[in-house]
A and B are shown apart, each in its own frame.
Chain A
Amino acid sequence: MSKHHGLSPQQQSVAGPALIEAGEQQIRQLLANGNSRSAVDRAKELHKQINNAASEALLVEAYRARIGSLREHRMDAEADALAKLVLERYPSAAKALKDPAPGTKTAILKLDDLVRPLADAQLPSEQRGAIESELKKRLDDPSALANGPALPTDHPLRLQARAVADAFTAVTRGPVTDEQVELNSVSRRSPLAPWKALVRAIAAFYERDDAAAERYLQSIDAESPAVRAAAPLRSAIAGKVDPQLKPAARSLYDGVSGAAAALRDALDTLDSMLSSNKKTKAISQIQSVIKLAAQAAPDLVPRLRQHIEIRGDTYELDPDRLRGALGGITLKDAYFWLLSARTAEDPKKPSFIPASCMWEEFRKHAIHEGWFEGRGPEVAALWVHMAGLLGMEGEVLEEARREFRGFPGLAALMYDDQPKEIRAALAGSNPADQYYLDPEKLFQRACAADPRAETFQQWMAWAAATDSSDKGRDKVAEAWRRALPNDVRPLLALTVTAGKRDALQKAIGFLEKAEKLDPLNPDVRRARVQMLVGSALKRLRERHAHLALRDVAVLEKLPQARETACSAVICALRYLCCLQNRDEAGMSEQLRSASEALGSEVVARCLFGNIARLSGFSPPKYPGLGQLTDLTMQPAESIAGVVASVLLIGDAFSMAFPFPDVPTDLLVKEVRARGEKLDNAQLRALGEAAVRDGEAEVAYAVSVAGLARGSSDARFLLIRAQSLPENETNRSSECLDAAAELARRNRDMQLLDQIVEERRESFSAFATRIFDLPDERRELSETELNGILKRERKAVAYPAQKRSPAHRKRLWDKFSSMFGDEDEEDEFYGEDDPFEGIPADAFHAFVEEAARAMQSRTSGGAKRKRGGGRKSPF
């Protein structure tokens, strides 16, 4: 370069254009590489040689880049000084320097400018690498490189670009051969490698080799523009549009997905019309959807008809117009009934009875279509599921069954237009047999199809919940025993029920059979103890102390007698025998032994008092035992602790001790002050006994202590729900929802059963039934659940339940205005007042609940049908 230094004007005029072109290339390349300092040096040198307007412009451009670079590096003072110097020397630079400094080192370069230096075979490898790296980031169309003038036609990069551009065009226009997309000339290091991967990904996509397409997409360099094709391509592979796609990408997705994309849009539109209750538009949209589906996915049309018919029914479209729009019959096969039954299981539906009918249709078709056998564990699981649904209906079920008598069945209503193969599934079924509306018959069938203990247990739980006598349980236990003769559980159940009706010999017989089968089973061992204690209590009630002592002697020989609670109960039984025999020394001895075993004389006295009461002794006969408030306690003892310990022992021996005769205020105070010293089991026993005996404020205080621990929230939420006053039905219902949600998560089925039972008996359920309102089963979101827990933890004071008569009158006015009958109030307060004799609080709660329920139905539930499902499912 220095050889050009000091050229004469003549020489300059000849060599200028060539020199300036070569210099410009070098300077631009230096700028492209971010080396603005060298670019300025080279431009200065060139301007010194050429000294014309072009060289000056090039020098100014280099300075401009340099100033920009200085500013990028926060060297503003230096940049300002340099700018000032440049302006002094080159006034023409004023305009150029006013323009913003170049943002990136390559911003001023065009693609051709960028790649031009690559034509020089002598280009140092570092510069070549930098250019290729930049090219990879900027190349958004290989044909631009292939057709550009910067590289010679035989340049390897240009040849590669040509090959890639041709392959890209071919692969996006139609099927290609492997050779067309091989592109062996493009190495992994080539700036065209991302494009090669894209071409191969597209080829694999059209060949439906989606795994290969994904592999190629993953290999595309993330800095290459080619990677922008990956998102729409992945969406097309998944057959599901990505809502993040930009317009051109979405357009590409729609294009390659063909009519499927249009169908998807049409289906989304239909959903939106249905949910916004645009029924007429929805009917016409259904016609379009079916037409589109016939083009895009003809095999999907039958399934679409099934979904649309069921959804249309849910949104109450006119059935005739709906069927007309569907343009053909909807097959009522197993899938249709599966979908129908699942739709009918929506918790917002007023009844699950239709769901059970639909599951029955599903069963017939599924067996016919070979989904499962007619007898076996799968059909048994279905029957248990149906029984579970019906079990939630309560008293409504009986009414529905009465209404269903004479109902010809779904076959007569739904299969008129069905093809022969669908109707064939109904062969052999008897429409008069409505077993699918009878949980007991469903359980019977399930146990016959697949006799397993879990099913018998569920049947037993249902029998216990629906029949207060033990006949139903005994029937289940007998069936269980016949089906699974080696299972001790039915024998234990029979033992318990026989014991409850004082058939001790029978109970002993069942227990002995259980002991023969499994003598080490802890339930069997516990049952033996409970049996002997029960027998001794019965002898004591009959005042046969000598017979009671015989039971106690047998009891003492059992290994369980060494356990603290058992030894204390034995002492109590012996004490009562001594009491009957007026053996005061013996009484003292037993009391002392029990006190030692329990570590507390107060607990022992309280336990003895309770057992004495169960044995039929009147309080004067056992002075100083039962009255807790008269007993002297140790400093570490509390009334709440003593009561809880005694209740726990009672629970362990199935002895339902009454709640102690302690003032409620005192016990509440005790629980608040010392509840934290009780363990969960003690708290639970205390709370459950309080609920059982109507000590709501004590139960509430227990729930406060329990919820504060956070370890058994579900259990204490149930106690909270049970303890709330009747005017807190909303809150109580939410506590039950939250308890059920937690129990489900913990898989605590026993607790879940208790919650279902509680809900069935709750005041809310009562109001729901008499007003024919939808039930309130609902699942909670995480936020709702946490909200309820937080609120209940905070609510430590028992809620007030008394309201003024004026408030009661206001509620009644609200309630009666919802009925819209002004005369009703007079009728109501007339001679036949149906609420006469109902306590004011209960009446108040009833009115409030009714008003709330009516309000919720009139304001929100547009889609809830008033009693539609309860009157008749169809």
Chain B
Amino acid sequence: MHTQGALDAHDDPAEVLGVALSASQDEIRAAYLRKVKEFPPEREPAEFERIRDAYDILRDPHRRMAHRMASVDPSAPLSSLLDGRAGARKFVGPDAWLAAIREK
């Protein structure tokens, strides 16, 4: 979950705007306008900032390429591949929850 507005190197700007990697400039602009309607700056300033950053990167092919080239971090822990993944969510019954709640 993103709490900060700025887009970092590992965020995928195409994913933020919901376009394909090979999207044309027109498609990128249309996606940007759609997203801005959904997250207007006065109501969702942080999300708007991410959308704006993503748009700025995607509409400039050189920035887009530079961002893409820096988008993987070979020195990151292997477990970071699991970050943000929607893995299976298991039901564990009430006891595990109550134990965590009673733990002071």
> Which B44-67 residues have a C-beta within 8 angstroms of A?
61-62, 64-66
In the assembled complex, the Cα of A311 lies from the Cα of B79 at a distance in Å of 13
A208 touches B87 (CB 8 A): no
A483 within 8 A of B: no
Task: For A268, give the chain B residue with the smallest CB separation.
Answer: B79
A300 touches B73 (CB 8 A): no
A310 within 8 A of B: yes
A residues near B93, Cβ cutoff 8 Å: 169, 172-173
A372 within 8 A of B: yes
In the assembled complex, the Cα of A492 lies from the Cα of B77 at a distance in Å of 50
A residues near B21, Cβ cutoff 8 Å: 370-371
B89 touches A342 (CB 8 A): no
> Which A114-149 residues have a C-beta within 8 angstroms of B?
140-141
In the assembled complex, the Cα of A249 lies from the Cα of B99 at a distance in Å of 8
A377 touches B65 (CB 8 A): yes
- The contact string, 1 if C-beta is below 8 Å from chain A, for chain B 91-104, is 11110111111111
In the assembled complex, the Cα of A267 lies from the Cα of B82 at a distance in Å of 10
A226 within 8 A of B: yes
- Contact with A307, one of B70, B81, B90, B102 (Cβ below 8 angstroms): B81
B88 touches A251 (CB 8 A): no
In the assembled complex, the Cα of A211 lies from the Cα of B3 at a distance in Å of 12
B91 touches A206 (CB 8 A): yes
A238 touches B77 (CB 8 A): no
- Contact with A372, one of B22, B72, B79, B86 (Cβ below 8 angstroms): B22
In the assembled complex, the Cα of A346 lies from the Cα of B82 at a distance in Å of 24
B96 smallest CB distance to A (angstroms): 5
Number of chain A residues whose Cβ lies closer than 8 Å to a Cβ of chain B: 72
A300 touches B82 (CB 8 A): yes
A residues near B70, Cβ cutoff 8 Å: 342
- Contact with A249, one of B75, B87, B100 (Cβ below 8 angstroms): B100
A residues near B86, Cβ cutoff 8 Å: 208, 239
A residues near B99, Cβ cutoff 8 Å: 248, 251-252
B residues near A247, Cβ cutoff 8 Å: 103
In the assembled complex, the Cα of A168 lies from the Cα of B83 at a distance in Å of 28
In the assembled complex, the Cα of A210 lies from the Cα of B89 at a distance in Å of 12
B84 touches A342 (CB 8 A): no
A343 smallest CB distance to B (angstroms): 4
B85 within 8 A of A: yes
A257 touches B90 (CB 8 A): yes
- The contact string, 1 if C-beta is below 8 Å from chain B, for chain A 363-384, is 0000000111000111011100
A267-B82, A300-B85, A381-B62 as given contacts; A169 in contact with B94, CB under 8 Å: yes
A267 touches B79 (CB 8 A): yes
Q: How large is the interface on B (under 10, 10 to 19, 20 to 34, 35 or more residues)?
A: 35 or more
In the assembled complex, the Cα of A381 lies from the Cα of B66 at a distance in Å of 7
- Contact with A300, one of B22, B65, B81, B100 (Cβ below 8 angstroms): B81
A303 touches B81 (CB 8 A): yes
A780 within 8 A of B: no
- The contact string, 1 if C-beta is below 8 Å from chain B, for chain A 196-226, is 0000001001101011001000000000011
B74 touches A339 (CB 8 A): yes
B94 touches A251 (CB 8 A): no
- The contact string, 1 if C-beta is below 8 Å from chain B, for chain A 238-266, is 11100000111101100111111001110
A210 touches B1 (CB 8 A): yes
B4 smallest CB distance to A (angstroms): 14
In the assembled complex, the Cα of A263 lies from the Cα of B82 at a distance in Å of 9
B81 touches A214 (CB 8 A): no
> Which A336-374 residues have a C-beta within 8 angstroms of B?
338-339, 341-343, 346, 370-372
B68 within 8 A of A: yes
A108 smallest CB distance to B (angstroms): 19
A271-B77, A343-B74 as given contacts; A260 in contact with B100, CB under 8 Å: no
A246-B103, A300-B81 as given contacts; A342 in contact with B72, CB under 8 Å: yes
A174 touches B91 (CB 8 A): yes
In the assembled complex, the Cα of A111 lies from the Cα of B22 at a distance in Å of 62
In the assembled complex, the Cα of A172 lies from the Cα of B64 at a distance in Å of 44
B79 touches A251 (CB 8 A): no
B87 touches A258 (CB 8 A): yes
In the assembled complex, the Cα of A421 lies from the Cα of B75 at a distance in Å of 29
- Contact with B69, one of A173, A206, A240, A342 (Cβ below 8 angstroms): A342
A270 within 8 A of B: yes
A236 within 8 A of B: yes
Task: For A207, give the chain B residue with the smallest CB separation.
Answer: B89
In the assembled complex, the Cα of A606 lies from the Cα of B82 at a distance in Å of 70
B79 touches A236 (CB 8 A): no
A residues near B98, Cβ cutoff 8 Å: 140-141
A residues near B72, Cβ cutoff 8 Å: 335, 338-339, 342
A218 smallest CB distance to B (angstroms): 11
A140 touches B78 (CB 8 A): no
Besides the known contacts A300-B81, A372-B61, A378-B64, 9 further A-B residue pairs in the complex with CB atoms under 8 A apart:
A141-B102, A169-B93, A239-B84, A239-B87, A248-B96, A260-B82, A267-B77, A271-B78, A377-B62
Binding site for B on A (CB under 8 A): 140-141, 168-169, 172-174, 202, 205-206, 208, 210-211, 214, 225-226, 228-229, 232, 234, 236-240, 246-249, 251-252, 255-260, 263-265, 267-268, 270-271, 289, 296-297, 300, 303-304, 307-308, 310-311, 335, 338-339, 341-343, 346, 370-372, 376-378, 380-382, 385, 450
Binding site for A on B (CB under 8 A): 1, 21-22, 61-62, 64-66, 68-75, 77-79, 81-94, 96-104
Q: Could you give 6 example pairs across A and B, Cβ below 8 Å?
A: A140-B101, A168-B94, A271-B79, A296-B87, A370-B22, A385-B66
